[in-house]
Amino acid sequence: MKLNPLTARKLRRFRSLRRGYYSFWLLIVLTGLSLVAELLVNDKAIAVRYEGEWFFPTYADIRLGDVFGLEGEAGSTPVSYRELKKVFEAQGGDNLVIMPPVPFGPYENTAYDGILRATPPDAGRGHYLGTDTTGRDIFARLFYGFRTAILFAAAFTALTYLIGISLGCMMGYFGGLFDLLFQRIIEIWSNIPFLYMVIIIFSVIPGTYSITARIVILLTIMVLFSWTFMTYYMRTETYREKARDYVSAARVLGAGSARVIFRHILPNTISTVVTFIPFTVIAAITYITALDFLGWGLPPPTPSIGELLKQGTANLTTAPWIVSSAFVALVFILTVVTFIGEAIREAFDPRKFTTYK
């Protein structure tokens, strides 16, 4: 793809802003890793070699213990690979279990001295950030919680921008009655308190909905109440661009409204859009964390940063590692995204690269 020289210069500028640039890569790597979280943080083994045959349980159907020669209750229940590893090691044969670096799942309750309680970080046991109040590994819950949050934020950003940009551009481009009407609708709509809507809607949807369905509903509600802010910027930008000669030229050549908006105007307003993206991501992560913290977010036992924060504040004095892990993780993510945002804003700042001298 051949980049517009202007865009290429902006990207070069972005790359030269080290802090933002490295933050960007850090976030990409983290997100990438979280997409394969099952291979890194999981109670299922990455690979098992049993009597010469290889198994890869991570993404496969659940296997019962008898597949690996376990007997009794262990034979008729889903395999505990950590236990299996011990069994194989005791047998001393060729059989092998390769566990992920963090061998705990986000839902697993592991007892400490026979008691399910919050235990402090202990690298020896593999709980790098300790466990929460029911003995679940905090690192695992944070990692999976991060994945949910970042994917949620990505989806949220994409959807709000899709709606916000389309409507904003149309308002600016068509103007007149259309613009007037939608401005009023947006004013009314944006005055509906979003949090109450979430609470009301979540109190009526049945708990039988799957977790995915609930996340989609939450996403839909949040998008429905968040797309409006983008329209203001796009509307003014479009108004400005519309009056320029190239737009008239395109229209003279016979381009339709859609083509003019999306092929001609939009690329010229894109810098506004881009600078906002990181901050929208931050808002989305903050929202979903806050909702989980308040208990209106994802249903239990879904791992989430907000839920950990809530647990942490309830056990502030007795288990400070819960709240500190969650807090540090949240601040870290938000800071990284903010650095990216700052860098993008600076790189795309028209005052530096303006074509109008």
Partner 1 sequence: MRMHDPKILAAAALLALLAGCGGGKQEAGQATAPATDNTAEVEEYYRSKVKVPGALWEQLERGEITQEEIDRRSAAGEFPKFFRYAKPEDLPADLAWEDGMDLPEIGSPEAKKGGTFSFFIDDFPRTLRTAGPDANGSFRPYILDDNAMRFAQRHPNDTSIGPNGFRYFPGIAKEWAVDKENAQVFVRIDPAARWSDGEPITVDDVFFMFYFYQSPHLRDPWYNNWYNRSYEHVTRYDDLTFAIGVPERKPDMASRVLELEPSPAHFYREFGPDYPERYQWRFKPTSGAYMVRDEDIKKGSSITLTRVPDWWASDKKFWRYRYNFGRIRLSVIRDTPKALESFRKGELDWFAITQPDYWYEKLPDSDPLVQGGYVGKTVFYNQLPRPTYGLWMNSSRPLLDNRDVRVGIQYATDWDRVIKEYFRGDYVRMRTTADGYGEFTEPAIQPRGYSVEKALESFARAGFTKRGPDGILVNDKGEKLSFTLTTGYDYLRDVLTILREQAGKAGLEFRLEVLDGTAAWKKVQEKQHDIQLTAFSVSPEMYPRYWETYHSVNAYDRAFLPDGSPNPERKPKPNTNNLQCIADPELDRKIEQYQASEDVEEMRRLAFEMEHIIHDNASFSPGYVFPFYRTGFWRWLKWPEDFNVKISRRSEEYYLSWIDEDLKKEVQEARKAGKTFPPILQVYDQYRDE
Give contact residues for partner 1 (rule: CB under 8 A).
61-62, 64, 73, 76-78, 107-109, 111, 114-118, 133-136, 203, 207-208, 210, 295, 299-301, 313-319
Smallest distance from partner 1 to CB 213, Å: 11
Give the type of residue at 202: F
User: Chain centroid to CA 158: how far?
Assistant: 12
State the nearest-atom distance from the C-beta of 311 to partner 1, in Å: 9
Spatial separation of the C-alpha atoms in residues 279 and 136, rounded to whole Å: 32
Nearer to partner 1, 61 or 245 (CB): 61
Name which of 7 and 315 has its Cβ closer to partner 1.
315
Query: Tokens 């235990």 correspond to what residue?
Result: 119
Dihedrals φ, ψ of 47, to 5°?
-150, 145
Residue 74 or 330 with smaller CB distance to partner 1 = 74
Between 75 and 175, CB nearer to partner 1: 75
Residue number, 136 or 264, with CB nearest to partner 1:
136
Residue 62 CB contacts under 8 Å (≥ 6 apart), including other chains: 78, 79
Residue type for 28, please?
I
Closer residue to partner 1 (CB): 51 or 61: 61
Q: How far is the CB of 223 from partner 1 (least distance, A)?
A: 25
DSSP β-ladder status, 47-50 and 53-55: antiparallel
- Whole-angstrom distance, CA of residue 204 vs CA of residue 250: 50
Smallest gap, in angstroms, from Cβ of residue 66 to partner 1?
A: 11
**Hey, what are 231's tokens?**
């329209």
**Are the C-beta atoms of residues 152 and 284 closer than 8 Å to each other?**
yes
Give least dist CB 208 to partner 1, A. 5
Q: Which residue, 25 or 209, has its beta carbon nearer to partner 1?
A: 209
Sign of the dihedral through C-alpha 317, 307, 285, 168 = negative
**Closest CB to partner 1 among residues 76, 257:** 76
For the chain, what is the largest distance between any 2 Cα atoms, rounded to a whole number of angstroms?
Answer: 82
Residue with smaller CB distance to partner 1, 225 or 296: 296
Residues 30/354, Cβ–Cβ less than 8 Å: no
Q: Which two tokens stand for residue 219?
A: 């996403």
Peptide bond into 301 cis (omega under 30): yes
What are phi and psi for residue 53, nearest 5 degrees?
A: -105, 140
**Cβ at position 61, least distance to partner 1 in Å:** 4
Give the chain's length: 357
* Cβ 55 to partner 1 shortest distance, Å: 15
- Please report how close the Cβ of residue 145 comes to partner 1 at its closest, in angstroms: 15
Nearest-CA neighbor of 121 among 108, 109, 131, 113?
131
Q: How far is CA 21 from the centre of its chain?
A: 19
Q: How far is the CB of 85 from partner 1 (least distance, A)?
A: 18
